[in-house]
Amino acid sequence: MKVSMQTKQRGFSLIELLIALTLFSGVITMVTGVVLTMVDANAKSQNIQLLTNNLTFALDSLSREIRTGFYYYCYSSQTNTPDETGTRDCANGGKFMSVMEAGESLTAGYSSNRIDYYYDDNYYTDADGNEYGAILRRFDNGEGWIPLTSENVKITNMEFIVTGSSRADEVQPAVTIYLEGTMGDFEDVQSEFSLQTTIIQRIIDV
């Protein structure tokens, strides 16, 4: 006689499925949130890095040109390019500075080797209509200023302090630059900065 054995298989109940789906959804939501946060943080970090590189490039270029240049001229506000041999200190700080380039890598083709720098505190305007500054450069009293800093680097204050430009007292010419501002496209990751650097002339007077 054949005896048939039947095994009763029990599946998941509706409540167990709902609990499993709820737990699975919660885990997926948490993991997705973490991934999105990491992606957002990485994008913001790269943005800050790009802006830092822009500010560093601007300061490096400006410092190199001033360090190797001569006939320093500083003024409290924007002015015309001074004479080739013009010099002027501004111990109390100024927004305008001019220097004669040691070579012609930047000023080739111009009638003078003068390079002008200027801090314009109203150069850029943000989405809310607020104005903020930029570091500008021009050659030989040219028609237009060229910004060295991008619009995402908000310069709020900058001063040139020049001493010893005439060399009358045999003091080595020096330029101290004060710089303040913020950088960043996102309000929650904007970084404030305050920099000071002193540049000593490295040219040999003959």
Name the band, by pLDDT with cuts 50, 70 and 90, for residue 206.
Answer: very low
Q: Whats the size of the chain, residue-wise?
A: 206
| The predicted structure's pLDDT at residue 198 | 92
- The 10 Å Cβ neighbour count of residue 76 is 13
Q: Does the structure show a pLDDT above 60 at 18?
A: yes
Q: Does the structure show a pLDDT above 80 at 86?
A: yes
* Mean pLDDT score, 115-127: 91
Token representation of residue 106: 């930047």
- The 10 Å Cβ neighbour count of residue 186 is 11
Q: Does the structure show a pLDDT above 70 at 6?
A: no
Please identify which residue in the block is written with the tokens 């920099």.
Answer: 195
Q: Does the structure show a pLDDT above 70 at 56?
A: yes
| The predicted structure's pLDDT at residue 42 | 64
Cα–Cα distances (Å) from 152 to 30, 42, 194, in that order, read 33, 18, 16
Tens of pLDDT, residues 92-120? 999 999 999 988 888 888 888 999 999 99
| The predicted structure's pLDDT at residue 182 | 84
Token representation of residue 42: 């990485």
* Residue-averaged pLDDT of the chain: 82
| The predicted structure's pLDDT at residue 98 | 94
- The 10 Å Cβ neighbour count of residue 194 is 10
Name the band, by pLDDT with cuts 50, 70 and 90, for residue 3.
Answer: low
